[in-house]
Amino acid sequence: MSQELFNIKGKVALVTGSTHGLGMAMAMGLGKAGATIVVNGNSSQEKIDNAVADYKKEGINAKGYKFNVANESEVIANISKIESEVGNIDILVNNAGIIKRTPLAEMEVEDFKQVLDIDLVSPFIVSKHVVKGMMERKEGKIINICSMMSQLGRNTVGAYAAAKGGLVMLTKNMATEWARFNIQVNGIGPGYFATSQTAPIRVDGHPFNDFIVGRTPAAKWGDPNDLAGAAIFLGSKASDFVNGHILYVDGGILATIGKPSNEL
């Protein structure tokens, strides 16, 4: 029975921003659990093709689509192509996102808007056009990738925090409107993870590395594979009565206001 609860074999999962990083880690987890992965990115077709090859090396059925998740006409056209060429989208993971590290008093309005467009408006656009099929079928899973910045502020990430905070409330409102169609909308809030992007600062003696290791009760950076279980849970029948919830995968950072136990 427990295996059936987490069974996603044969499901089609669209994961935006899944050519690298945490998006790829979650998509790999879903794919290894049996889902067909629809890989999305917008930087280049070559990057998508390389990512699809990486998935296939792991025995995952994957197909790539290049489109801008913040462009509604591109989203509409590609959702139609995906449903025609791959199948109905059972699981949507709104992962695509950007960050611009600029103090708010110095940030250009256009840069602020661009972060909101990708990190907040695009989950609305993609969900809007995927959910219609889910509503007809009376079944579906939508997972919005939030952040610890959905709950906390930090210097130079004001636009990102505003978008990710808004994404929490968007998730709750999506759940409110769509739950009656047997659609579950939840979020994952990753903490700090060991990725290629964080490699330059994940060295002993680096101030930010020491801060993260010291501030996290688990006393380490997360492994991207740690997100796979959360994605599988929220994409499977095991979460059929979970709606509007944000699951933080952060090693315990948000659990404490003071020094964690490893600093006693």
In angstroms, the CA 15 to CA 96 distance is 8
Q: Is 65 a known active-site residue? A: no
HEC readout, the chain = CHHHHCCCCCCEEEECCCCCHHHHHHHHHHHHCCCEEEEEECCCHHHHHHHHHHHHHCCCCEEEEECCCCCHHHHHHHHHHHHHHCCCCCEEEECCCCCCCCCHHHCCHHHHHHHHHHHHHHHHHHHHHHHHHHHHHCCEEEEEECCHHHCCCCCCCHHHHHHHHHHHHHHHHHHHHHHHHCEEEEEEEECCECCCCCHHHCCCCCHHHHHHHHHCCCCCCECHHHHHHHHHHHHCHHHCCCCCCEEEECCCHHHCCCCCHHHC
Token pair in block for residue 78: 């590609």
Q: Which residue in the list 55, 65, 160, 248 is annotated as catalytic?
A: 160
CB-side neighbour CA atoms (13 Å) of 263: 16
Q: What residues are annotated to the active site?
A: 160
